[in-house]
Structure 1
Amino acid sequence: MASWFTRRRTVGTIVSVIVIAVIAAGVTLRATQRAAAESPGSGTVALEFTATDLATVEPKVLARWLHVSGTLQPVNQTTVKSKVSGEVRQVTVREGEAITAGQVLVRFDTADLEAKLSERTGAMEASRAQLALAEKTRIQNHTLLKQGFISQNAYDSAESNLSVNQGTSKSSEAQVQLARNALRDAVVTAPLSGTVAKRHVQPGEKVNFDAPLITIVDLGQMELQAMIPANDIPELRIGMKVDLAIDGFGERRFTGTIDRINPTTEAGTRAILVFVHVPNPDAALRGGMFGTGKVTLTAGAPVPTLPAIAIRTEAGQTFVWTIESGKLGRRIVTVGRRDDAAGRVEIKTPLPPDTPILAAPFDNLKAGAPALVRASAPSKSAGAS
Structure 2
Amino acid sequence: MRRRWLGRAALAAAMAVCLATSGCQRKEHEAQASTPRRLKLDTVGAVTRPIPDTLLVTGTLEATTVNDIAANATGRVVAIHGERGDQVKKHAALAKLDVRLAALQAAAANAQAKVASDQAELQAQECARTEKLAASGAVPMAEWERQSWQCKIAKSTMAASQVQATMAAQYVSDGTIRAPMDGHLVERFVEVGQFVTPTTKVATLVSLDELRLRISVPEIQLGGLKKDAAVTFRVAAYGARIFSGTLARVSPVVRPETRDVLAEATVPNGDHALRPGMFATVELQLGTKLASVVPSSAVVVREGTSRVFVVRDGRIEERAVQLGPRVGNEVAVLKGVARDEPIVREPGEEVKNGLFAE
1:196 CA displacement: 1.1
1:294 counterpart residue number: 283
274-283 vs 207-216, which moves further: 274-283
TM-score by length of 1: 0.59
Amino acid at match of 2:73: V
3-state SS, counterpart of residue 139 of structure 1: helix
1:228 CA displacement: 2.4
Q: Percent identity?
A: 22
Residue 89 (structure 2) pairs with residue 89 (structure 1)? no
For the residues of structure 2 that align with 1:263 and 1:174, how far apart are their CA atoms? 49
Residue 101 (structure 2) pairs with residue 112 (structure 1)? yes
Tell me the number of residue pairs that the alignment of Structure 1 and Structure 2 aligns: 255
1:91 CA displacement: 0.5
1:62–1:338 CA contact under 8 A, matched in 2? no
Q: 1:159 to 1:250 in 2, by over 3 A?
A: same
1:243–1:254 CA contact under 8 A, matched in 2? yes
For the residues of structure 1 that align with 2:255 and 2:194, how far apart are their CA atoms? 40
For the residues of structure 2 that align with 1:201 and 1:130, how far apart are their CA atoms? 45
Measured on the aligned residues, the alpha-carbon RMSD in Å equals 3.1
1:70–1:227 CA contact under 8 A, matched in 2? yes
Deviations, residues 54-95 of structure 1 (Å, cap 9, x unaligned): xxxxx9978532233221123333222222221111111111
2:134 counterpart (145, 149, 161): 145
1:155 counterpart residue number: 144
Residue 297 (structure 2) pairs with residue 284 (structure 1)? no
Deviations, residues 125-153 of structure 1 (Å, cap 9, x unaligned): 23223312321321232232123232212
1:69–1:291 CA contact under 8 A, matched in 2? yes
3-state SS, counterpart of residue 219 of structure 1: coil
Residue 351 (structure 2) pairs with residue 343 (structure 1)? no
3-state SS, counterpart of residue 101 of structure 2: helix
For the residues of structure 1 that align with 2:108 and 2:201, how far apart are their CA atoms? 29
Q: 1:165 to 1:284 in 2, by over 3 A?
A: same
1:230 CA displacement: 4.7
Deviations, residues 140-185 of structure 1 (Å, cap 9, x unaligned): 3223212323221221111011112111111211121121122122
For the residues of structure 2 that align with 1:229 and 1:264, how far apart are their CA atoms? 12
1:73 counterpart residue number: 62
2:241 counterpart residue number: 252
Q: 1:129 to 1:343 in 2, by over 3 A?
A: closer
- Report which of the two structures shows the higher radius of gyration computed on alpha carbons: 1
Deviations, residues 177-213 of structure 1 (Å, cap 9, x unaligned): 1211221221222233332110011111111114221
TM-score by length of 2: 0.63
3-state SS, counterpart of residue 255 of structure 1: strand
- Structure 1 residue runs without a partner (length 5+): 1-58, 304-336, 346-379
Q: 1:63 to 1:254 in 2, by over 3 A?
A: closer
For the residues of structure 1 that align with 2:95 and 2:149, how far apart are their CA atoms? 47
1:164 counterpart residue number: 153
1:213 counterpart residue number: 202
3-state SS, counterpart of residue 258 of structure 1: strand
- Structure 2 residue runs without a partner (length 5+): 1-47, 292-321, 326-331, 337-353
Amino acid at match of 2:334: G
For the residues of structure 1 that align with 2:269 and 2:241, how far apart are their CA atoms? 13
For the residues of structure 2 that align with 1:124 and 1:63, how far apart are their CA atoms? 71
For the residues of structure 2 that align with 1:86 and 1:151, how far apart are their CA atoms? 56
1:83–1:182 CA contact under 8 A, matched in 2? no
For the residues of structure 2 that align with 1:263 and 1:86, how far apart are their CA atoms? 47
Amino acid at match of 2:280: G
2:183 counterpart residue number: 194
Q: 1:160 to 1:269 in 2, by over 3 A?
A: farther
3-state SS, counterpart of residue 174 of structure 1: helix
For the residues of structure 2 that align with 1:267 and 1:85, how far apart are their CA atoms? 48
Deviations, residues 254-287 of structure 1 (Å, cap 9, x unaligned): 2222233344556976543322222333323221
Q: 1:244 to 1:145 in 2, by over 3 A?
A: same
